[in-house]
Amino acid sequence: MSSGLDDDTLRLTLETIRDFSKERLTEQSILDLDAADEAPEGLIREMCGDGLGIQLLFIPEEYGGMGGGTFDVYRLCEAMAYIDLGIATGVLATFLGSDPISVGGTPEQQKEWLSRLANEGLLMAYGATEPEAGSDLAALRTTATPVMKDGAVAGYRISGRKQWISNGGIADLYTILANAPGGPSWFVVERGADGFEGGKPEDKHGIRLSNTAALTLEDVFVPVERLLGDAEGLGLQQAQAVFGYTRLMVAAFGLGGGWAALDRAIQYSTERVQAGGPLSTKQGYTHKLIVPHAARLEAARAYVEETALRIDAQEGNLNTEGAIAKYLATEAGNLAADAAIQALGGYGYTRDYIVEKIKRDVRITTIYEGTSEIMEMTIARDRWQAHMKTRGRHYHDLAGELETLAARVPEIGADVAALAFHSLAEVLEQCRLNRLTRNQHVLLRLGELIAYAECAASLARRAAAAADGSLESKADPRFDSKTLAILSRIFAREAALKVGEEGIRLVVGAAEAASIVDLQETFGLAPIHSAQRGLLADMDKATAALYERLAG
């Protein structure tokens, strides 16, 4: 069981949001706002205020909130992104903005600000990025200069520029990262403070229903009580402390955007008749444009859910797991939305059909909250350590666990995911022997292989849990155990093939002495190729299940 909301409260919350959006955010009104490039501030305030009170979900009960956990927030984020990713960004920016307070604030600061968020429905913004400091936050230039009074620090004067801040032009309250003499530190700044200005909204590719603006701070005075945590220099640690959590939120955005597009493509293909039958009956269509995307999104979901449960069980920050979840879910969301445009043909390419907008929206998810390349680096560095510390056993051991699972619950893809892990262990070992991770390209590509293999394992475990009735009660109910098993087998084949074949490409491409025949043997290419048997039949079954769902 996860902590946070009980099952009924979560279900009711999600239903309320869907009902609200059906009434107030119709597809046409969303398309109109997108065309007008308008962030509907009033609506976002209603959602975060007396109307819906979404912000209460992530505020602890002691401060007047509902005390939702990570799992609840994942479900909420996906549901919001399914409706509109710009609105989701606007609502969730308040959550992100309040994180430095929740994580780094003193009990007094938490009480003051979180209670105000709960009671007044204030909108917040999170001000970390700067023109010169994006992925590399340590390059931060904004300064916080102490103002002394009677020999003690009475406050700070903050000066600098922030870039690409969600809700930047409309928030009531901002958390701002600035360099104090003791190092990077978070400060709370209120809208309207002297010297503080939000820029004009950016003209963006997507999420046009979300306000994004630069901020300018010129000698903005904040009293010392607004230094979060009462100590300078904790800012980067405080930002790091919630990455596992916040990256899961964006992972959920990828799932929501991806499924919003894919569901439209599935529906469309039942209605569009070409060459004598609906497109949904054409294998060349479904097995390329629908099925692999469903499998990839569900693999990412399995990883999101496992990680959310672990964070709720206080297993730590799980930054690497958050990175894996974000990486696969957002990349899968982008691929799915792109395929949905293709699935609608010429119609998909026009602004009248919402898949075109969804594709532009979901594009942001591989950029904000850490780019995909930074995720690859985070994943690869951490798992490289695990490989080194265990003398190469790490992924072989995980493969062993999957083999035990496969013996207990067959046909859920666990045996094939185990092949991916064995292969991965050997790819990493070859990289170690040939010292290949000195090449940044190799290191980052390993990050991708790791994400695929770990998500394949996760989906196999989720399919097994669904089969034996032990799936988390708050888990997404989209698919039954039979369909999950089919999707898991499909994704595990993709992951194993990717690890084995990309592994060879990487090692042969970077190492001088590698023998291709030996590598094929070491990386287990023959069993990985054999495991592709039955793929087409599984894709047929997955198609049937995806379309039955629509009929149901």
Residue 153 vs 367, nearer CB to ligand FAD: 367
Q: Which of 57, 128, 171, 215 binds ligand FAD (CB under 6 A)?
A: 128
Q: Which long-range contacts (CB under 8 A, 24 or more apart) does 273-280 make?
A: 279/343, 280/543, 280/547
Q: Which residue number, 443 or 484, has a Cβ lying nearer to ligand FAD? A: 443
Residue 153 makes contact with ligand FAD by CB under 6 A: no
Which residue among 58, 368, 421, 523 contacts ligand FAD (CB under 6 A)? 368
- Shortest reach from residue 135's CB to ligand FAD, in Å: 3
Question: Is 373 a residue that touches ligand FAD (CB under 6 A)?
Answer: yes
Q: Which is nearer to ligand FAD, 147 or 367 (CB)?
A: 367
**Helix 414-433 to helix 481-510 angle, to the nearest 10 degrees?**
20
What DSSP character marks residue 220?
Answer: E
49, 51, 67, 134: which one binds ligand FAD (CB under 6 A): 134
Site for ligand FAD in 180-209 (CB under 6 A): 204, 207
**Cα separation, 531 vs 524, whole angstroms:** 11
Going by C-alpha positions, the residue among 352, 344, 356 that lies closest to residue 28 is 352
Block residue for tokens 């529906």:
267
Query: What is the spatial distance between Cα 68 and Cα 99, in angstroms, rounded to a whole number?
Result: 14
Among candidate residues 369, 426, 494, 502, the one labeled active-site is 369
Total residues at interface with ligand FAD (CB under 6 A): 20
Among residues 497, 529, 530, 503, the alpha carbon closest in space to that of 516 is found at 503
Stretch that binds ligand FAD, among 20-28, 44-52, 163-171, 344-352 (CB under 6 A): 163-171
Give the relative orientation of helices 372-389 and 319-343 as an angle to the nearest 10 degrees. 140
Among residues 371, 434, 439, 520, which is the contact residue for ligand FAD, using CB under 6 A?
Answer: 371
- The interface mask with ligand FAD, positions 391-420, x = CB under 6 A, is ------------------------------
Smallest distance from ligand FAD to CB 457, Å: 26
CB nearer ligand FAD, residue 363 or residue 422: 363
x/- map, 62-101, ligand FAD, by CB under 6 A: -------------------------------x--------
Q: Which stretch binds ligand FAD (CB under 6 A): 67-75, 138-146, 340-348, 369-377?
A: 369-377
Strands in 335-423 per DSSP E: none
Any idea what the Cα angle at residue 550 is, between residues 546 and 552, rounded to 5°? 110
Mark 107-126 with x for binding to ligand FAD (rule: CB under 6 A) and - for no binding.
-------------------x
- 465 vs 510 by CB, closer to ligand FAD: 510
Amino acid making up residue 434: N
Does residue 374 belong to the site contacting ligand FAD (CB under 6 A)? yes
Residues 422 and 399: their CA atoms lie apart, in Å, by 6
Report phi then psi at 106, rounded to 5: -75, 165
In the residue annotation, 369 being an active-site residue is answered as: yes
For ligand FAD, which is the closer residue by CB, 165 or 241?
A: 165
Q: Select the residue whose beta carbon is closest to ligand FAD and give its number.
A: 134
- Each as own residue / partner, the long-range contacts of residues 115-121 (CB below 8 Å, 24 or more positions apart, any chain) are 115/63, 115/64, 116/173, 117/55, 117/59, 117/63, 117/65, 117/173, 118/55, 118/56, 118/59, 118/63, 118/64, 118/65, 119/64, 120/49, 121/45, 121/48, 121/49, 121/50, 121/53, 121/55
Closest CA to 488 of 262, 301, 288, 257: 301
- E strand or H helix at 534: none
First to last CA, the chain: 29
Q: Rounded to the nearest whole angstrom, what is the least distance from the CB of residue 506 to ligand FAD in the complex?
A: 17
Q: Which of 109, 110, 129, 423 binds ligand FAD (CB under 6 A)?
A: 129
Q: At closest approach, how far in Å is the CB of 371 from ligand FAD?
A: 3
Give the residue numbers marked as catalytic.
369
Binding residues (CB under 6 A) for ligand FAD: these are 93, 126-129, 134-135, 164-166, 204, 207, 212, 364, 367-369, 371, 373-374
